[in-house]
């Protein structure tokens, strides 16, 4: 399968996994769980290895951020100082928990004590999204490994390169073979093979609500595996007439446009008190106009391109639907460059609750504002 830059050029080819590959990864993870990890590896040792892995990621943060910028379109400085920093901090936090997964001793009578013991859940399937590729992988891997589980990871097929580079750091850190297994492929093959597998005990998924429903169904139809779903939303911010407008504009714009709007907690709806609406909209518009779109490796760039051609096309369809349904396109809404996948920061006004742009999460640098 081809791996494409966020500007539309092919970087390299990556082997596309199949259901058989998933099964081999699960066998490997189960063997490691029973022989070198889980209850066979003390929590303090798991914590030491996770800390070592965090150190290696920090050491290679420039390289990893560059790969992220190339493959995902994330501005290099953001990838380095946010994505990689959060990934490292998450691993170190969970490394600290590894030695603290403890049960309790309970006195039931003077002659009897009862104790509890926390044990690993088993083999965990982890399906990660494309908006923060490595960071989201590590936010899943850290807690699972700290608790003694082994993992089978499917990174997004859109931008798997940082996760693949991460695999060599896993080996360098000394984490035993089979503890972390990565399979790159599409949702309808690799993703389904993970969620339907009878020897996977738990699935963690971050992505769309539609896919989350399918995963819940697959988990129930297979072995009733436990699931954790982090799905989409259409998050509102409500700005009252007593708000500090400077702060409100600052954080509303950050919430709307950060990472080219490709954030599950983006504030894609703004409700502003009618008495301050005009002033807020004017200031908000000025901030949006000042966003610097450009090459992710240009240190002045604050917004890179969208992550894939398919996502770009979905966004343009959303923009067209907003216009067709009667919303006012206040700002943006167009392709920024004739080449590549940049979309102008976009603001819709006069949006009704029944419109598609008001109801659906679309993951792009946009916002709708309404006076209330």
pLDDT in tens, 221-257: 999 999 999 998 889 999 999 999 999 999 999 999 9
Q: What is the mean pLDDT of residues 62-84?
A: 95
Q: Are 6 and 61 contacting, i.e. CB atoms less than 8 angstroms apart?
A: no
Say yes or no: do domains 2-230 and 236-371 share a fold. no
Q: What is the mean pLDDT of the chain?
A: 94
Is the confidence at residue 61, as pLDDT, over 90?
yes
Please say if 230 is a catalytic residue.
yes
Is the confidence at residue 353, as pLDDT, over 70?
yes
- Point out the catalytic residue in the list 230, 325, 360, 361: 230
In the prediction, which pLDDT does 2 show?
74
Q: How confident is the model at residue 7 (pLDDT cuts 50, 70, 90)?
A: low
Which among 60, 69, 62 has a CA at the least distance from the CA of 161? Answer: 69
Tens of pLDDT, residues 154-172: 999 999 999 999 999 999 9
- The residues with which 205 forms a beta bridge, in sequence order, are 127, 229
In the prediction, which pLDDT does 368 show?
59
Q: How confident is the model at residue 37 (pLDDT cuts 50, 70, 90)?
A: very high
In the prediction, which pLDDT does 6 show?
64
> 3.40.50.300, 2.60.120.10, 3.40.605.10, 3.30.1330.40: which CATH number matches 2-230?
3.40.605.10
Domain over 236-371 is classified CATH 3.40.50.300: no
Other residues' Cβ atoms within 10 Å of the Cβ of residue 92: 18
Q: How confident is the model at residue 337 (pLDDT cuts 50, 70, 90)?
A: confident
Domain positions in the chain are 2-230, 236-371
What percentage of the chain reaches a pLDDT higher than 70? 97
Is the confidence at residue 338, as pLDDT, over 80?
no
Helix (H), strand (E) at residue 331: strand 328-331
Can you tell me the distance from the alpha carbon of 366 to that of 31, in angstroms, rounded to the nearest whole number?
47
């Amino acid at each position: 399968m081809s791996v494409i830059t966020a500007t539309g050029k092919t970087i390299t080819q990556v082997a596309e996994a199949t259901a058989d590959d998933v099964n081999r990864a699960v066998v490997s993870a189960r063997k490691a769980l029973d022989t070198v990890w889980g209850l066979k590896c003390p929590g303090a040792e798991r914590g030491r290895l996770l800390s070592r892995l965090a150190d290696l990621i920090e050491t290679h943060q420039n390289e990893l951020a560059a790969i992220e910028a190339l493959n995902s379109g994330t501005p290099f400085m953001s990838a380095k100082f946010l994505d990689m920093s959060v990934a490292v901090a998450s691993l170190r936090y969970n490394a600290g928990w590894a030695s603290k997964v403890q049960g309790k001793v309970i006195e039931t009578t003077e002659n009897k004590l009862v104790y509890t013991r926390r044990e690993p859940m088993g083999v965990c399937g982890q399906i990660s999204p494309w908006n923060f590729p490595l960071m989201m992988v590590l936010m899943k891997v850290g807690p699972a490994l700290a608790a003694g589980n082994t993992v089978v990871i499917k990174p997004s097929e859109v931008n798997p390169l940082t996760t693949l580079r991460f695999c060599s750091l896993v080996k360098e850190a000394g984490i035993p073979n089979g503890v972390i297994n990565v399979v790159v492929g599409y949702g309808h093959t690799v993703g389904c093979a993970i969620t339907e597998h009878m020897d996977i005990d738990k699935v963690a998924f971050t992505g769309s609500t539609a896919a989350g429903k399918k995963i819940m169904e697959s988990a129930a139809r297979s072995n009733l595996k436990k699931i954790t779903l982090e799905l989409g939303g259409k998050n509102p911010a409500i700005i009252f007439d007593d708000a500090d407008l400077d702060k409100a504009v600052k954080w509303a714009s950050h919430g709307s446009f950060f990472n080219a709007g490709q954030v599950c907690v983006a504030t894609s709806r703004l409700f502003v008190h009618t008495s301050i609406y005009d002033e807020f909209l004017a200031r908000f518009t000025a901030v949006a106009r000042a966003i610097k779109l450009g090459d992710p490796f240009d240190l002045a760039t604050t917004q890179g391109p969208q992550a894939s051609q398919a996502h770009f096309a979905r966004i343009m369809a959303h923009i067209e639907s907003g216009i067709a349904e009667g919303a006012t396109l206040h700002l943006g809404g167009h392709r920024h460059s004739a080449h590549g996948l940049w979309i102008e920061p976009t603001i819709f006004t006069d949006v009704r609750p029944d419109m598609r742009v008001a109801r659906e999460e679309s993951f792009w640098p946009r916002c709708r504002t309404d006076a209330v």
